[in-house]
Structure formats: C-alpha cells, structure tokens
Structure 1
C-alpha cells in the first residue's frame, strides 16, 4: 500500500523517529548498522559478511565493525559456515527481532503524529 506524504513530512518523520531512538533506546545505531540489521531481518537468509558488503557497497571490514557492535548488543550473531570455512554467516537473534519490532512500533506512532 503506497504511503502519500510530502517531502517535508518524510523528513519530519525521519527526524522524530531518530530523536526518539536517541532518547529512548539503549541501542543508538548508525545508518550503516541499521541498514545491515534491516537487511538481515527483511531479506531471506543466508547472509554472509561478503554478501552484505557487496549489497551495501562497502568493504568487508566495514561490515565486520558494524557486526562487532551489534554482536555486543546481541542484535545479530555470527558463525563460521561449516560447508565453506571462508564464509561467515550472519544470523538473527531474539534481541534483534525485538529491537526492530519496537522500532517499527515507534515509526508507526510517529507517522500518526505527523501534521497533515
């Protein structure tokens, strides 16, 4: 279902959600980290460090740094691919799913507050 909002409303929504995340959430993720997290949760697995780097157009070390931070927060986990030891599989966690569920609820709430 398409959403019909003006540019100013889209920016206001992004601002309001970002502000609420900074104020209310324990995990204050960078745009790169949130993109990695959303990619892993919204697109079908498997996800690898190499695949995420290619998809986002960044280096593998950049993905590794993002995963290090999110691993400490328990939003994602990693394991070595048993079939190909060169690959690192990125996996979803319960904590990550709950974080995104709360974030989605926050976005919906802030969208309802947008001036019309």
Structure 2
C-alpha cells in the first residue's frame, strides 16, 4: 500500500499530530526523543547506546541524555550488557510500548481528518 501526500498535506498531518501530542496528558517528547523511541520499538533488538548514536548520526552523550528523560518516564530501560560490559543495552517497557501504540493511533486518526 502506498500513501501519496502533497507537501502541504504532509505538513498539515505533522501539525495535527504535534498539536494532538501537545494537548495530550502524556509525556512531551522532543523530535529526537521520538526518533530514538521509534528506533527502539520498530527495529529489531538488541539496541545499544552506541548503535542508536550511529543510527541517528549523533554522539553517545546525546543519546544518553534523551534516554535519561525517557527512562524517568519509564518508556525505556538501560542495563549493562553482561557479555560485553562496555555496551549499554536499551530495552523496551510496557509503558513505552503503550506510548508508541497510542502515538501510531494518533497519526492514523489525524491522517483520516486530512481533506482529499
């Protein structure tokens, strides 16, 4: 299935999703934090701080700061890799899975509101 949007429609969709997120009682995540969260939940694990930094083209401290916030919100958790203590593994949580599912539902709902 292919969805075709004109640039203005794509921007309207992004605007509506962003506004829905602002009005929601859930966590107020930055675009970078959402990108990290989606990598963790949509791509096959395992996920490491080093791997996420490479995937997003940012430094490990940038990922660590974002994970600090998302960890405090219980959207992800971190622990040392027992096989390689240099690696920090990033894992999913129930709260994070529910957030991502709700976020997807919001995108679908807002896309349906777009004029054809």
Secondary structure of the corresponding residue to residue 89 of structure 2 = strand
Q: CA RMSD in A?
A: 0.7
Listed one character per residue, the Cα deviations across residues 17-52 of structure 1 (whole Å, up to 9, x for unaligned) are 001101113211111100000000000000000010
Match of residue 99 from structure 1:
99
Distance, in Å, in 1 between the alignment partners of 2:19 and 2:107 is 11
CA distance in 2 between partners of 1:48 and 1:4 (Å)? 34
Residue by residue over 1:35-91, the C-alpha shift from the partner in whole angstroms, topping out at 9 and shown as x without a partner, is 000000000000000010011110000000000000000000001000111100000
List structure 1 runs of 4+ shifted beyond 6 angstroms. Answer: none
* Residue matched to 1:28: 28
Moved more, 37-46 or 24-33: 24-33
The total of aligned residue pairs comes to: 116
Aligned counterparts of 1:25 and 1:108: Cα–Cα separation in 2: 19
Equivalent residue for 2:78? 78
Corresponding residue for 2:18? 18
> So what's the TM-score if we normalise by structure 1?
0.98
